[in-house]
Structure 1
Amino acid sequence: MLTKVLLILLGLSIILPSRSEGPHVESENGPSAHDDVYGPRPQAAEEKLLSEETKPTLSGPHSTLGKLPAATHILNSILNNYDHKLRPGIGEKPTVVTVELSVNTLGPISILDMEYTIDITFCQTWYDERLRYNGSFESFVLNGNMVSQLWIPDTFFRNSKRTQEHVITMPNQMVRIHKDGKVLYTIRMTIDAGCLLHMLKFPMDSHSCPLSFSSFSYPESEMIYKWEDFKLEINEKNSWKLFQFDFTGVTNITETVSTPTGDFMVMTLFFNVSRRFGFIAFQNYVPSSVTTMLSWVSFWIKKDSAPARTSLGITSVLTMTTLGTFSRKNFPRVSYITALDFYIAICFVFCFCALMEFAVLNFLTYNRTKPRASPKLRHPDIHARALMPPRASAHQHPDAFVCQIEDSDESDGEEGPSCPAQQSLSPGGIQNPGGCCKWCKKYVCVVPRCEGSIWQQGRLFIHIYRLDNYSRVVFPVTFFFFNVLYWLVCLNL
């Protein structure tokens, strides 16, 4: 028995010194192998596991993981008894919400639908005393998932038709809580808002497209909006989609709107734009003017060429009709005429008058009633003159008149009419009915060589066979003065 005990003691004395010498050797070899290397020293597997387990519990001024439990504790403490259904200061004072906008993209503006698209970042700031806390954190930034746990103003856009909130890759919302209770809520959205366009001066028109917002349920006695010194950021470097318009500035107003549910404070921004004139000029004004001037070519075509002049006149009228319809194709159905409509209508009148000028000339030339005369008197080489009866017979026949048939030396080589203007031979110069109409006898000379009576001297006589000559001057001059007056009025209004 004693020998067994001695053998056990001897074995223990051999094993224990060998185990105690192992760590000692590693500690001696450790510094010699890693003293010259910059970086963390290798650790044993058991020591590494222990360090990972104890690392989250460490706290220090430079340890971010050490502040995580503190931030969680603060959020839990302020949201523990927080009721997001009640506004701050309920029953005591109205909540003041400060608003700030950042315009990312403006446009396009739809003329046909009378609306425009705007992409904004909408910022609202208010104070909530229930969110005050003490700690080393100046503020907490929370993502959109925490918005439902806080009270948020129920702001809505009054003139919006469609509103889209951006949710890729996460909802574009942010909440920042400061230690003094200040809350900043930011959201990005795209709005299709209505814009009532007054097209009376189209295409020299300017518009102010509003963006109006207010609280949906809190009246002015409970919620007040105000601007942050009217701070509005406009990122014009972005690719704005105004196309036909130029951005000229922005204005704002604040008003109170009375509704059956109360008086609400309404904030409105006006984005001022003016139309670019180049596109409309080349699409409407230039074709209309050129078509009108093209209709005047018929004045230089002989009146015997009826098919050519008629085709040119009808083509001009139909072209103006097409241009008028095309200008209204992408246009709102307004009940008034615009400046462009008035211009096209006047051009249509000019083309129609050019066509009617030939119709009148053709009618008076070839369809006028002629007196009955012998065929011999109609020969172009014979100058026949109806002899005037004696003076006594003239008194007996007051309807007697002088009729002279002769060639026209001033009518481009064409034969003149067969009867001059009827002149009364009565002493009082009283004209008698018959033959040409009264206005024709008074003011219109129907032969190349026409001399009026004494009382007609000094009056304006129109030679119908020179109607084309008159039109070559009257139409261009009238159209020129119309354009001068039109552009002076439209550009100065």
Structure 2
Amino acid sequence: MTLAIVLYGTIFLLTMCGESESSSAGTMEFLEQIKQNYSKEIRPFHGGDALKVRCSMYVSTLGSVDTTNMDYSVTFYLRKTWQDPRLQFDPAAGVLIFQSEAARHIWIPAISFPDEKQGKLHDLIDENQIIQIWPNGTVVRTLRLTMTLICHMKPGKFPMDGHKCSLMFESLAYPINEVELEWEDNNMTMGKDMSVSKFQIDPNPITRPCASSSFHFDSFSCLEVVFKLHRSLTHFLLQVYLTSILVVLLSWISFWINPRSEPARVTLGMTSVLTLSTEISGVQQQVPDFNFATAIDVWLAMCMIFVFAVLVEFAIVSYGYTKLSKRQRRQHSSNHTKQDNGNIEFEMVDPTERDVEVGVAMDVEYQSSQSRESNTGVKFFSRVKRFFTISEPGDLDHICRVIFPIAFGSFCIVYWFSYIV
């Protein structure tokens, strides 16, 4: 029994070695035939219909997205499949798999990447290029590439911006009537748990034919992958928007401080301005430099205007109290002068005239009260008028306690509605 097992095992190994040797011999013979009887300069079906090249892609990593230089990096596997009847062979040989050497001896559809800045074919140990040839002449070429590509961004809504970065590739040598690129059915696969710093990636990129570029009066077939990126807003909400709102609210405490306490109000106002200025400087170091105002620039500029307006309001109130003090001192000095000179004048008033004036005043007051009770709208506007009436400089603080929150709240609503919706 043991001897039979050994004999069967020996026969199986010899058979496998024979098949391997015959397969290797068939592969070598196939390569020799290609070198002798095959022209790699002529495309398949030359003179006939356009050759269909089916493409698919697997994106393994999406690297850094640089808003300043408007580019991004991506590593992907690109697979191209086409038919070449000249490469048909005996089906008994199975599928032939070659590395990069075979690509030098067969016709390959040349493609280019119009938006490429830098790119490379990985070759750390071996060149990452595989060619599979099927018995019916189907050729499959797989490449592993890393590229830095241009992304035409529109960062006007920064940091609430979203971008569509495209990866385009097109036929380089043959116009669209000679070689036509087309997507396969399951043409795009994204790596699992893919993430990019400061951006969120849509897991379903768009694959579509792109507009054929014109070059030397010919149109070339083109395919495109569109990656949809959305900037993560959490960092900016916590580090920029929340802190700037708190600084603006802090500056409003000045409206509840006695206007006579000038050191306290000046210190609070200057502290708010300097804090916001420091925050603006920190944000400018984190965000790219653009030649136009972005959403975050508008926000910080308006916050600075609100904080600076508090200081201006205090300057107006302080100036008003200074003028009022000077006027009171002049009046007080004038009264003392009159008393010292003994120039005291008395005015004689007829009692009947006083009674008539009192009666007329009571009639006017009664009619006014009746009118207020019958017209609530006039009553409301009279209260509003009384509220906005400034009898002394300190009344401006009472008005600003209402005006500033309403104005800042309105700005926030318009701002977020404009840049998010």
Same fold flag (TM > 0.5): yes
Determine which structure has the larger helix proportion and give its number.
Answer: 2
- Distance, in Å, in 2 between the alignment partners of 1:204 and 1:387 is 75
The aligned residue for residue 159 of structure 2 is 203
The aligned residue for residue 142 of structure 1 is 98
Q: Which runs of structure 2 are paired with 1:446-485 in the superposition (5 Å)?
A: 460-463=388-391, 464-485=393-414
The aligned residue for residue 262 of structure 1 is 218
Deviation at 1:189, TM superposition (A): 0.8
Opposite residue 462 of structure 1, the aligned amino acid is I
The aligned residue for residue 88 of structure 1 is 44
- Distance, in Å, in 2 between the alignment partners of 1:378 and 1:86 is 116
Q: Which runs of structure 2 are paired with 1:253-332 in the superposition (5 Å)?
A: 253-254=208-209, 255-332=211-288
- Distance, in Å, in 2 between the alignment partners of 1:60 and 1:199 is 63
Distance 1:37 1:252, change over 3 A: closer
Contact 2:34 2:105 in 1 (8 A): no
- Distance, in Å, in 2 between the alignment partners of 1:390 and 1:90 is 125
**Is 1:247 paired with 2:201?**
yes
- Distance, in Å, in 2 between the alignment partners of 1:357 and 1:178 is 83
Deviation at 1:281, TM superposition (A): 0.6
Partner secondary structure for residue 92 of structure 2:
coil
- Distance, in Å, in 1 between the alignment partners of 2:208 and 2:348 is 93
Contact 1:112 1:330 in 2 (8 A): no
Partner secondary structure for residue 66 of structure 1:
helix
- Distance, in Å, in 2 between the alignment partners of 1:110 and 1:88 is 41
- Distance, in Å, in 1 between the alignment partners of 2:386 and 2:273 is 38
Identity of aligned residues (%): 27
Distance 1:73 1:312, change over 3 A: same
- Distance, in Å, in 2 between the alignment partners of 1:347 and 1:375 is 46
Instruction: Pick the structure with greater CA Rg.
Output: 1
Contact 1:111 1:197 in 2 (8 A): yes
Partner secondary structure for residue 177 of structure 2:
coil
- Distance, in Å, in 2 between the alignment partners of 1:459 and 1:305 is 24
Contact 2:26 2:93 in 1 (8 A): no
The aligned residue for residue 124 of structure 1 is 80
- Distance, in Å, in 2 between the alignment partners of 1:294 and 1:268 is 51
Q: Which runs of structure 2 are paired with 1:274-423 in the superposition (5 Å)?
A: 274-367=230-323, 370=327, 372-373=330-331, 375=333, 377=335
TM-score (structure 2 length as normaliser): 0.79
Query: 1:5-45: CA deviations, max 9, x gaps?
Result: xxxxxxxxxxxxxxxxxxxxxxxxxxxxxx9767759xxxx
Contact 1:78 1:132 in 2 (8 A): no
Contact 1:127 1:183 in 2 (8 A): yes
Higher relative contact order (CA 8 A, sep 6+): 2
- Distance, in Å, in 2 between the alignment partners of 1:378 and 1:484 is 57
Gaps of 5+ in 2: 338-343, 350-384
- Distance, in Å, in 1 between the alignment partners of 2:84 and 2:336 is 109
Q: Which runs of structure 2 are paired with 1:162-241 in the superposition (5 Å)?
A: 162-229=118-185, 231-237=187-193, 240-241=194-195
Query: 1:307-327: CA deviations, max 9, x gaps?
Result: 332232122223323323332
- Distance, in Å, in 2 between the alignment partners of 1:331 and 1:374 is 60
- Distance, in Å, in 1 between the alignment partners of 2:130 and 2:304 is 60
Query: 1:266-287: CA deviations, max 9, x gaps?
Result: 2111111222221111121011
- Distance, in Å, in 1 between the alignment partners of 2:249 and 2:345 is 49
Distance 1:71 1:355, change over 3 A: same
- Distance, in Å, in 2 between the alignment partners of 1:353 and 1:389 is 49
Deviation at 1:98, TM superposition (A): 0.9
**Is 1:151 paired with 2:80?**
no
Please say which of residues 340-349 and 240-249 is displaced more in the overlay. Answer: 240-249
- Distance, in Å, in 2 between the alignment partners of 1:164 and 1:62 is 40
Contact 1:59 1:67 in 2 (8 A): no
Gaps of 5+ in 1: 1-34, 42-50, 380-385, 392-456
Distance 1:136 1:353, change over 3 A: same
Aligned residues: 372
Please say which of residues 116-125 and 240-249 is displaced more in the overlay. Answer: 240-249
Please say which of residues 340-349 and 80-89 is displaced more in the overlay. Answer: 80-89
- Distance, in Å, in 2 between the alignment partners of 1:132 and 1:378 is 123
Partner secondary structure for residue 351 of structure 1:
helix
- Distance, in Å, in 1 between the alignment partners of 2:131 and 2:346 is 111
Distance 1:459 1:277, change over 3 A: closer
**Is 1:102 paired with 2:58?**
yes
CA RMSD of aligned residues (A): 3.2
Distance 1:100 1:39, change over 3 A: same
Partner secondary structure for residue 141 of structure 1:
strand
